[in-house]
Amino acid sequence: MKSALQKTDPAVYKIIQKEEKRQQETLSMIPSENWFSPSVREAVGSVFSHKYAEGNIGKRYYEGCVHVDELETLAIERAKKVFSLPKNWTANVQALSGSNANLAVYLALLQPGDTILAMYLPDGGHLSHGWSFEPDVEKRDKEVQSGSLVYEGGSRKINISAMLYNPIQYKTSKKTHQFDYKAIAEIAEKYQPKLIITGGTAYPRIINHKKIKAIAKKIHAYYLADIAHEAGLIAGGAFPSPVGIADVVTMTTHKTLKSGRGAIILAHEDIIHKINLAILPGLQGGPHNHNIAGICVGLGEALSPAFKKYAAQIIKNTGDLALELQKQSFKLVTNGTDKHFVLMNLSEEPILGRPFARVLALAGITANYSTMPWDSRPPRNPSALRLGTPWLTTRGMKKNEIKKIAKWIREAMTIASQWADMSFEGMEEEAKQSKDIKRISQEVKDLCKKFLVA
């Protein structure tokens, strides 16, 4: 029997079917992607998408919100349990994304022009933490060569957070590529930010939240911990939590937490009251109730014993991935990982991040190119590659599969090395025609068929 969509809009139905086929038959190793359960997807596609519900629980600007209130209350209560919130903490589940969540915190706690101190984006930070850059290549090279652990920003303001506030960014140690807490303390003392931020997209190590909080407390600043990537690991008890240490914790819900699209903000109830006002009327109109439904279902799943095993397996799989890649003679930033992804330093390989990501995609392995510490190459054409295991773990893959994947990655690099002197477009065309790349793609597809997801 044909579905409703198949009957009414076969064009869109066909695109969706092709995308599902792609996801089932390839290996997604982008750390920020995951596969949601049928229950989460059902909730996101529910009738809650029809309803307007501007406002907060019991204080809506629309009638007919009794069940929206019930849903949002349940989501908040589950968030409290999943993340073991202190009694005087609560949550906001209305932010549409992680970037919106961070901006809401800024609007709630800062004034335009205030200084914020966050992690340097090429070292693993995030756009929404105040990124600006210098488009001049010579100036960018000079910045890297200076060895300075502080970045005062570039002439091009990329994100609204850099346009509204004064971002100062701390870098990782040039030797270890990890946090230098003493240097961060000195930078904070010098620039006196009103807010210190940790977290980002490509920092593979544990962050000492207590040390950062001590730095913030000394200068009377707020501390925001952005755990967008680690949320599911923390929920499953496999990773240290900043809850009760940081003043505010933000996260997306679609990565390791695999709870559909959206965001959660955790903080003391007094701060959440300010954040609620920053969300509405500050940033958004009506919340996306269907996304909140998905988040609520996902949080319910995160409370299960199975999720704890899942989070622990992600950590184990990523450790195995790091080891197997090193056996294949790949270099890793920080020489390993504590999280759900590894950052590969390809600066000494024949193919760098962006072109190698494309070669791997054609071989059936989806990854993403990334910046890395102390590299002057621009974000659009960097030296590193980021590989994660959340989706592999959701599929049930373990050490034996990780070994195969690492071998395929080295094999793809060896094949691609013959195209090292070509343009990106030329290399891509060669990879599309390569029998060896097609063979790897078929082998990947054969493996994926053994680990289909519902």
Residue of 54, 69, 430, 443 marked catalytic = 54
Angstrom distance (rounded) from CA 7 to CA 210:
56
Q: How many CB atoms lie within 10 A of CB 46?
A: 15
Sheet bearing 248-252, strands edge to edge: 89-92, 263-268, 248-252, 222-226, 195-198, 115-119, 166-170, 150-151
**Where is 60: in which H helix or E strand?**
strand 59-60
Beta bridge partners of 198: 225
Q: One-letter amino acid identity for 387?
A: L
Task: Give the tokens for residue 363.
Answer: 């071989």
Angstrom distance (rounded) from CA 204 to CA 309:
21
Asked about 393 being catalytic, the answer comes back as: no
Nearest to 57 by CA among 298, 289, 294: 289
Which residues have a Cβ under 8 Å from the Cβ of 89 and sit 6 or more positions away?
80, 243, 244, 266, 267, 268, 269, 272
SS3 category, 9 = coil
Q: How many CB atoms lie within 10 A of CB 192?
A: 12
Residue of 78, 80, 194, 255 marked catalytic = 255
Residue 273 C-alpha from the chain's centroid: 26
Asked about 255 being catalytic, the answer comes back as: yes
For the chain, the first-to-last Cα distance in angstroms comes to 19
Asked about 25 being catalytic, the answer comes back as: no
Asked about 54 being catalytic, the answer comes back as: yes
Residue of 72, 123, 143, 226 marked catalytic = 226
Residue of 13, 33, 52, 316 marked catalytic = 52
The label of the residue with tokens 């549409």 reads 96
Radius of gyration of the chain (CA): 22
Asked about 170 being catalytic, the answer comes back as: no
Task: Give the tokens for residue 274.
Answer: 């300010």
| 8-state DSSP, 281 | I
Q: Strands 248-252 and 341-345, how do they pair? A: unpaired
Residue of 252, 256, 334, 393 marked catalytic = 252
Angstrom distance (rounded) from CA 316 to CA 71:
35
Task: Give the tokens for residue 232.
Answer: 């599911």
Asked about 52 being catalytic, the answer comes back as: yes
Angstrom distance (rounded) from CA 118 to CA 197:
5
Is 390 within 8 Å of 230 (Cβ atoms)? no
Catalytic residue IDs: 52, 54, 226, 252, 255, 261
